[in-house]
Amino acid sequence: MASIIAINVGNTRASVARIEDGMIVESTSEPSGDATAVAAAARRLAADDSLTVVIASVAPRRSTAIAEALQQAGLTDIGSIGDDIGIPLATKLGDGANPGQDRLLCATAAWRRLGQACVVIDAGTCITVDFIDGEGTFHGGAIAPGWRLQLHAMHTGTEGLPDVLPARPGDEAFGADTVSAMRLGVLEGLRGLVQRLIERYALAYGAFPLVIATGGDAEALFADDELVNLIAPDLVIEGVACAWAAATQSEEDAPKFGETRRPQAHSE
C-alpha cells in the first residue's frame, strides 16, 4: 500500500497521520480551525515525499480551508472521503439518513479490527455510540453532547455555574464543591449513557457485542470501564486508510490494524 497522509477534520481538532503499508507510523493533532497549522503538520509528516493527502471531515468549511492551505504548502494531490473516495461499509439506515463520515469510518475500522458485532464509542466534541452487526453492517446509534460540551453548556446556560475544564474527579463518592460536582455529574452521566445504550443494542441484537472506544476523551472516560473491551487512539484515521485501500488495491492487501490495547485502570 502506498504511503498517504490522512487527515480527520473534527469540530475541535484535526488529526494528521502518515500511513505506510496500512499502518499509522506517526500522527499529531492541531486545532481544526487553524488551517495553516494543520497543513504544516501534514507537510512535516510527508517530509520530502510527494504523498497523496486524504481528508475526512465533519466540518466542511474547515476542511476547505485546510485543503487550500495544503496546496500552498506544496501538497497538491488531495482527495476527500465522500467526494473522491467511498467508505467500504454496508449500512441499514432510514430513508434520507446522512451519518457523519467520522461515524462510518470508525465503524469501518472497528469491523476491520474485530470482524464481529461491536459497539463503537467515539468520545469527542460529541459522543457517538454506534452498532455494527456480525455481518459488518452499520445500524446507526446515538449522539449526545460530549464531555467538554456538556460542561460548557452548564456554564453558558446558567448564571451561577463556572466554565469548567474536563478532568477526572477524585475517588470521593460525592462532589464536595461545585466544580467537582459538575465534573462528577457529566462523567458518570456519559458513562451511564454508554452503559444503557450498550445494553439496549445487545437486547435488540440478541447477543452482547464487543465494545471499542476511540476519540480524544476515550482514555479519560473509559480506561477503567469494565464494559469497554478495547481502546483505539484514532479509529477515524484507520478508517481513512481502509477506505483508501478499498479504492486502490485488493481486499487481500487491505490494512489490518492490530495495535488495539485493553484499557488500563485510570489513576490521577
Q: How far apart are CA 189 and CA 221, in angstroms?
A: 11
Contact, 90 vs 135, CB < 8 A?
yes
Q: How many helices (H) and strands (E) does the chain have?
A: 7, 11
Tens of pLDDT, residue by residue, the chain (268 residues): 579 999 999 989 999 999 998 789 999 999 999 999 999 999 999 998 889 999 999 999 999 999 999 999 999 999 999 989 999 999 999 988 899 999 999 999 999 999 999 999 999 999 999 999 999 999 999 999 999 999 999 999 999 999 999 988 878 899 889 999 999 999 999 999 999 999 999 999 999 999 999 999 999 999 889 999 999 988 999 999 999 999 987 444 555 444 433 343 333 3
The one catalytic residue among 102, 122, 217, 234: 102
Cell numbers for 106: 470508525
CATH number of 90-236: 3.30.420.40
Enumerate the domain spans of the chain.
4-85, 90-236
Q: How many CB atoms lie within 10 A of CB 137?
A: 16
- pTM comes to 0.88
Q: Given this chain, do its domains 4-85 and 90-236 carry the same CATH topology?
A: yes
Other CB atoms within a 10 A radius of the CB of residue 148 amount to 17
Rounded CA-CA distance 87/103 in Å is 11
Question: Which CATH architecture is the domain 4-85 placed in?
Answer: 2-Layer Sandwich (3.30)
- Mark whether 102 is an active-site residue: yes
